[in-house]
């Protein structure tokens, strides 16, 4: 990665992951992310695969459209995370999230490390394909499937905490025309029952809890069960695929049992 993108090692000198991180913290996080992957978990071909088109983690044809989730490194836009998960319909990218593995202390967490999501972004001009994809995926919108994918990856990597930047911490980006891209991070994390901690980051345990089925209106429970079943199937597939690129981990059947 460094040979291909020499300036990557200096990314901590500018904004990285969250507004409140100092330069010292940014440097520590960048080192920690790669040390965690290389010293404990990933195989020798992981970075090569990430740089050569990414890792295809899930693909399924639904209503004649092929949907997929892959892990990649976006070298033009990596300030908000060192790895990205991309949801696509055919060859069209519809949504992406970016994340890094950070020391828990950096985000006010008691856990040793956390998977910190720094960006959630739909692609411009793809509103209608996103609606089509949501309907095809049992009314689960792409960002929620991508978070489910991130949770599976965290589980494989023995990371017990998932975290997200709030609207205040997000590194706001601009389009080429200068208009702001807006996503309500606070509201999104709250729908997933993450709580804002004292350091101003949203935090939750892996796996995230579902709303008790008894608290869902009886007429909606069947739909809720179908959505959860589909999400679990996608998550399990992603976990069992990603585990092939991990050198040291728990047994796959222990991580992804009967659901």
Interval 57-100: pLDDT, tens: 999 999 999 999 999 998 877 889 999 999 999 999 999 999 99
Length of the chain, please?
259
pLDDT (mean) for 102-130: 93
**Confidence (pLDDT) at 171:** 87
Q: Where on the phi/psi map is residue 81: left (φ > 0), alpha (ψ -120 to 50), or beta?
A: left
How far apart, in whole angstroms, are the C-alpha atoms of residue 238 and residue 149? 6
**Confidence (pLDDT) at 248:** 54
pLDDT at 257 over 90: no
* All residues at 6 or more sequence positions from 141 whose CB lies less than 8 Å from its CB, including other chains: 130, 134
pLDDT at 174 over 60: no
pLDDT (mean) for 253-258: 38
Residues 210-230 pLDDT 10s: 888 888 898 889 989 999 999
Percent of the chain at pLDDT > 90 equals 65
For residues 142 and 126, is the Cβ–Cβ distance under 8 A? no
Give a three-class secondary structure readout of 103-121: EHHHHCCCCCEEEEEEEEE
**Confidence (pLDDT) at 67:** 98
pLDDT (mean) for 25-42: 91
**Confidence (pLDDT) at 254:** 38
pLDDT at 259 over 70: no
**Confidence (pLDDT) at 233:** 96
pLDDT at 134 over 50: yes
For residues 204 and 192, is the Cβ–Cβ distance under 8 A? yes
How far apart, in whole angstroms, are the C-alpha atoms of residue 126 and residue 94? 6
149 band by pLDDT with thresholds 50, 70 and 90? very high
**Confidence (pLDDT) at 124:** 84
pLDDT at 3 over 90: no
**Confidence (pLDDT) at 258:** 40
**Confidence (pLDDT) at 77:** 76
pLDDT at 178 over 80: no
pLDDT at 176 over 70: no
């Amino acid at each position: 990665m460094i040979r291909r993108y020499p300036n990557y090692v200096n990314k901590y000198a500018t904004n990285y992951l969250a507004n409140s991180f100092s330069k010292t913290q940014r440097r520590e996080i960048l080192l920690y992310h790669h040390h965690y992957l290389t010293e404990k978990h990933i195989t020798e071909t992981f970075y090569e695969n990430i740089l050569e088109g990414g890792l295809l983690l899930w693909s399924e044809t639904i209503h004649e459209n092929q949907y997929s989730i892959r892990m990649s490194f976006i070298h033009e836009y990596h300030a908000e995370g060192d790895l990205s998960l991309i949801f696509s319909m055919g060859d069209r990218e519809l949504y992406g999230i970016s994340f890094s593995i950070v020391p828990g202390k950096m985000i006010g967490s008691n856990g040793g490390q956390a998977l910190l999501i720094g960006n959630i972004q739909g692609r411009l001009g793809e509103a209608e394909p996103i609606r089509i994809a949501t309907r095809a995926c049992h009314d689960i919108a792409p960002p929620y499937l991508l978070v489910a994918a991130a949770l599976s990856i965290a589980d494989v990597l023995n990371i017990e905490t998932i975290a997200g930047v709030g609207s205040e911490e997000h590194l706001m980006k601009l389009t080429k025309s200068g208009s702001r891209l807006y996503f309500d991070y606070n509201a999104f994390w709250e729908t997933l029952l993450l709580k804002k901690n004292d350091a101003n980051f949203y935090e939750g345990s892996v796996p995230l809890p579902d709303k008790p089925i008894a608290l869902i209106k009886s007429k909606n429970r069947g739909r809720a069960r179908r959505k959860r079943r589909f999400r679990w199937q996608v998550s399990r597939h992603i976990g069992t695929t990603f585990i092939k690129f991990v050198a040291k981990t728990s047994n796959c059947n222990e991580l992804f049992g009967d659901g």
